[in-house]
Amino acid sequence: MPIQIVPSDTRVDFIGRWRLWVGISLAVIFVSIAAIPLRGIRVGIDFAGGTDILMRFAEGVKTEEGAVRSVLSACGIPEPNVIRYGETEPEFLVRFGALTDPGAVAAAVERGDCRVAEEDRKALDAALAASGKDDVTGSVVDRLTLALRNSIGDLEIERVEFVGPKVGDDLRRDGILAISIACAMILGYVGFRFSPRYAPGAVIALLHDIVITAGVFVILGLEFDLRVLAAILAILGYSLNDTIIVYDRIRENMALHTKHDLAEVLNLSVNQTLSRTLLTSGTTLAAVIALLLVGGEVVRPFAIAMAIGIVVGTYSSIYIAAPTLLWLERRYGAVTQPSGATGGRDRRARA
């Protein structure tokens, strides 16, 4: 026997309140748009360009993110993002955006802000000059390594990754293209699987989920990076799955209850799938919250975006997708059903 947390005789008038909930969605979208000039759209180094440095301090060196961040800031690195791993041999992932003035780090070393010993500075300058390479990122990393070693303790640089502005632009453009292609393919699939009248509701619900999730990130001042993009693409699939379940029940009920008003059929269908929706969303949200709480800094942006998307995606299947179908039917005529099944208005017309 299937688990049912909502009684089978539940009859909540979801469709009757759709204007209220659509108004709430529009209000959130308006607030997020108004927040753009105030808070700006923060993008991570994946899209804006920057540098990732993975470093490991020697065993016995005691330090925290704040100490590493202070040294980097003193060396002219604006707003460095420091993420810690491990305990016995602390590892740190340092991320900072593209430097507007790469010479600022060298100038900070010259002034003594970075606490680099004079002989170390001269040896580094001589080595860089002898190499004959114009490696701005490499020289910056070398100077930061010296500063951290002298200020905190011995360390080893395990990995350095640099994302240039051009690569960041390409990633941003490809991300937008991926979302656009996904929405177009979903539009075609729903139109083929159900009928063309169903497809706009599904796509509008998906766009609603993307805009609301991105809007909350803007309002909270959170960064957009590839992890958030991955979460948004996952939200598209999750939200579509929930919408398809509701749509499939609507199609079944339209064939069974041919003399009912479409709004009644939509309400009946949403109520019948409510238990399944809450169970699926609840279990998925519980897993995402676990990632959010104990997953660490690396997966936190993904978990935040997923948590927002699950809540918004569940809501949009009820208050965006179904009411859009109702609005289209009332404005443009009866919904065309595949496989010989038709909407209530078509059946009543033939009767």
H or E element in which residue 57 lies: strand 50-57
Sign of CA dihedral 319, 322, 324, 327: negative
Phi, psi of 189 (to 5 degrees): -65, -50
- What are 288-317's pLDDT values in tens digits? 999 988 877 778 889 999 999 999 988 888
Q: What is the DSSP string of 8-33?
A: TT----TGGGHHHHHHHHHHHHHHHH
Determine if the pTM surpasses 0.85.
no
Nearest to 277 by CA among 304, 245, 309: 245
pLDDT over threshold 70, residue 110: no
Give the mean pLDDT of the chain.
79
Is the separation of the CB atoms in 289 and 307 below 8 Å? yes
Phi/psi region, residue 86 (left: phi>0; alpha: psi -120 to 50; beta: rest), is: left
H or E element in which residue 4 lies: none
pLDDT classification of 118: cutoffs 50, 70, 90? low
pLDDT over threshold 90, residue 84: no
Predicted confidence at residue 116, as pLDDT, reads 62
CA atoms within 13 A on the CB side of 164: 3
Show contacts of 174-178: CB within 8 Å, 24+ apart.
175/47, 175/226, 175/229, 178/229, 178/233
Higher pLDDT among residues 110 and 302, named by residue: 302
Predicted confidence at residue 306, as pLDDT, reads 93
What span, in angstroms and rounded, lies between the C-alpha atoms of 36 and 38? 5
Predicted confidence at residue 102, as pLDDT, reads 62
Mean pLDDT of 205-221: 90
| Residue the block writes with tokens 């991955």 | 230
pLDDT classification of 44: cutoffs 50, 70, 90? confident
Predicted confidence at residue 173, as pLDDT, reads 84
Q: Provide, rounded to the nearest whole percent, the portion of the chain with pLDDT above 90.
A: 9
Alpha-helix residue ranges (DSSP H) falling in 260-336: 262-294, 300-316, 322-332
Q: Provide, rounded to the nearest whole percent, the portion of the chain with pLDDT above 70.
A: 79
- Residue 123's Cα: distance from chain center in Å? 45
pLDDT classification of 336: cutoffs 50, 70, 90? very low
Lowest mean pLDDT among 9-18, 82-91, 157-166: 82-91
Is the separation of the CB atoms in 300 and 225 below 8 Å? no
pLDDT classification of 349: cutoffs 50, 70, 90? very low
Q: What share of the chain is helix, strand, coil (3-state, %, to 5)?
A: 65, 10, 25
- What are 158-187's pLDDT values in tens digits? 888 877 767 777 877 888 888 888 878 877
- Domains identified in the chain and CATH numbers: 15-43+167-350 (1.20.1640.10), 50-163 (3.30.70.3400)
Lowest mean pLDDT among 80-89, 141-150, 192-201: 80-89
pLDDT over threshold 90, residue 190: no
What span, in angstroms and rounded, lies between the C-alpha atoms of 214 and 212? 5
Higher pLDDT among residues 10 and 214, named by residue: 214
Integer CA distances (angstroms), 256 to 112, 198, 274, 299, 343, in order: 81, 18, 19, 46, 10
What span, in angstroms and rounded, lies between the C-alpha atoms of 146 and 125? 12
The helix-helix angle for 199-220 and 322-332 (nearest 10°) equals 130
Element counts in the chain: helices (H) and strands (E): 13, 4
Predicted confidence at residue 348, as pLDDT, reads 37
pLDDT over threshold 80, residue 222: yes
pLDDT over threshold 60, residue 94: yes
